[in-house]
Amino acid sequence: MDPLKQRIVLLGPPASGKGTQADRLSKTFGIPHVSTGALLRSECARETVLGREANEWTSKGLLVPDELAVRIVATWMQEHGAVFLFDGFPRTVGQAEHLDRALDHLKAPLELVVLLELPEQEIRRRILERLSCLACGATFSSSIHGYVQGSACPNCGAPLVRRNDDTEAALAQRLEVYNQLTLPVVSYYEKTALRILRRVDAGQGSDAIFAKIAVLVENKEGPANS
């Protein structure tokens, strides 16, 4: 049996379903799902040395520097081992380069980068139609599920709302950050000698997307894949 891929990066624009897929892959394959946002918040909350350093940036509304973001991830790997599923990290080419160096040092190279692809028009539609349950985190589409603002969440009964950052203006900014910082990460992984980038159409249903990624994680893709 082929071994599973165990060092995985999941990239994709807003509303591509990265978090959902990462959770499901993590549960199915037992690979820890590491969200750098959550790591960062945890370091800050525990007031560790890294957390205090990060706080100097985040308290001003700035992104932490690439080197610091990777140091936080590297510290996590020292404690938990180099088996991970990163969701939305690396966000910049700088972070990708630092991560490669850290993994080189551990002699544990990245094995798979999955890019969830979604046309901009579909990203806009999903975000602007999205209703979220702030209590349980579930999200629904007003056009597909027929809910409106204030409908009761079918999971927990709390009211569904449109999140503050699901607006035209906030979306435009998130897309710009994605296009400027993260798309170059895609090119970076396309050019590495490892040839580990795979593209998956995120416009299909969640189950179909999951099945496609699972094939990649299980190392069962055909030789013709390019």
Known catalytic residues are 18, 91, 130, 163, 174
Selected binder of Zn ion within 78, 143, 149, 155 (CB under 5 A): 155
160 binds Zn ion (CB under 5 A): no
Binding mask 122-141 for Zn ion (x = CB under 5 A): -----------x-xx-x---
Amino acid residing at 78: Q
Please tell me the chain's helix, strand, coil percentages from 3-state DSSP, rounded to the nearest 5. 50, 15, 35
- Give the sign of the dihedral formed by CA 76, CA 81, CA 85, CA 88: positive
| Cα(60)–Cα(226) distance, integer angstroms | 43
Q: How many other β-carbons are positioned within 10 Å of the β-carbon of residue 151?
A: 16
Q: How far is the CB of 134 from Zn ion (least distance, A)?
A: 8
Select 119 or 159, whichever has its Cβ closest to Zn ion.
159
Selected binder of Zn ion within 156, 172, 208, 211 (CB under 5 A): 156
Contact between 120 and 112 under an 8 Å Cβ cutoff? The reply is no
Question: Which of these ranges, 36-44, 74-82, 110-118, 149-157, lies near Zn ion under the rule CB under 5 A?
Answer: 149-157
- The residues binding Zn ion (CB under 5 A) are 133, 135-136, 138, 153, 155-156, 158
